[in-house]
Amino acid sequence: MTRRLHITIGTRPDRTDLDDRLGALDAGEDVDPQPSRLSIESLATFGRIFRPTNLTLLEAIVEHEPESIRELARLVDRHPPEVTENVHELADYGLLELEDNGRAKRPVVWYDEFEFSGDVGLRGLESGST
């Protein structure tokens, strides 16, 4: 079963089912194959979350399954405090989860695919900061 996160842009944030679905996946429960949904309020926020440095982190997590944020920082050749900040931002949006691994936190990506949609006109372009 493919685990897909459907991300919409330009709508109010709605993460209502995300935590429940992540918890069910973590517990090994069967989850409805309908994609989880994440709504991102603006194009500017979308750009910040999916900037190249964050995409590199997501790819490294999926490919290497690091045991800690510090190990992830070594994999991408970046300073651990910067990686920690980016990882927490990704976790806040539900794009990854941080599992306890002894004293460390292990970043885990639960989704096989991200699916994007949204209607972003010129108005979405001018709404800058969040």
Cα distance between residue 39 and residue 99, in whole Å: 24
Task: Say if 127 falls within a structural domain.
Answer: no
Is 126 a domain residue? Answer: no
With 60 as the cut, is the pLDDT of residue 34 above it?
no
| Residue 16 domain boundaries | 4-119
The average pLDDT across 75-83 equals: 97
Output the pLDDT for position 81: 96
pLDDT at 79: 96
Biggest alpha carbon–alpha carbon distance for the chain: 48
Q: For position 35, which CATH number holds?
A: 1.10.10.10
Look at residue 11 and tell me if it is in a domain: yes
Token pair recorded at residue 94:
């539900």
Task: Evaluate whether residue 84 is within a structural domain.
Answer: yes
pLDDT tens-digit map of 48-65: 999 999 999 999 999 999
Q: How far apart are the first and last CA of the chain?
A: 35
Paired with 104 in beta bridges are: 101
Full-model pTM: 0.72
Residue 8 has pLDDT above 50, yes or no: yes
More confident residue, 19 or 44: 44
pLDDT in tens, 86-97: 999 999 988 999
Is position 76 within any domain? yes
Residue 75 falls within a domain, yes or no?
Answer: yes
Label the pairing between strands 104-108 and 113-118: unpaired
Q: Does the pLDDT of residue 13 top 60, yes or no? A: no
State how far the Cα of 37 lies from the Cα of 22, in Å rounded to an integer. 12
Banded pLDDT at 117 (limits 50, 70, 90): confident
